Amino acid sequence: MLRRSLRINPKDNVVCLLEDAERGDTVRSPEGEEITLLEPIEFGHKVCIRDLKKGDRVIKYGEEIGYMLSDARKGTWIHNHNMGCDRGMK
């Protein structure tokens, strides 16, 4: 099932889900590609819309909000289990 999502800035490499989604559901990338979700993801959480490697910057709001702790294929849930963040720590 196609789920609603929001890309806030053209630089973003994640979208935010606007509804709960199950593994196998899809979101549409800004380029029109349907991306299959690899796991259940809750409303408001991030999904990567391109493959990310460990150390890659996570971009949301057009700004870096963190960095990948591990590789993630497009369609992966991005949260504190696989994304680190130093904001407010420096």
Give the pLDDT confidence of 2-57 residue by residue, as tens digits: 999 999 999 999 999 999 999 999 999 878 889 999 999 999 999 999 999 999 99
Does the structure show a pLDDT above 80 at 76?
yes
**Domain locations along the chain:** 5-84
Which of 36-40's residues contact partners 24+ apart within 8 Å by CB, and which partners? 36/75, 37/3, 37/75, 37/77, 38/73, 38/75, 38/76, 38/77, 39/76, 39/77
Residue 46's pLDDT is what? Answer: 97
The pLDDT-based confidence of 86 (bands split at 50, 70, 90) is confident
Architecture of domain 5-84: Roll (2.30)
H helices present in the chain, as ranges: none
Rounded Cα gap, residues 47 and 16, in angstroms:
6
pLDDT at 79 over 80: yes
Answer yes or no: pTM beyond 0.85: yes
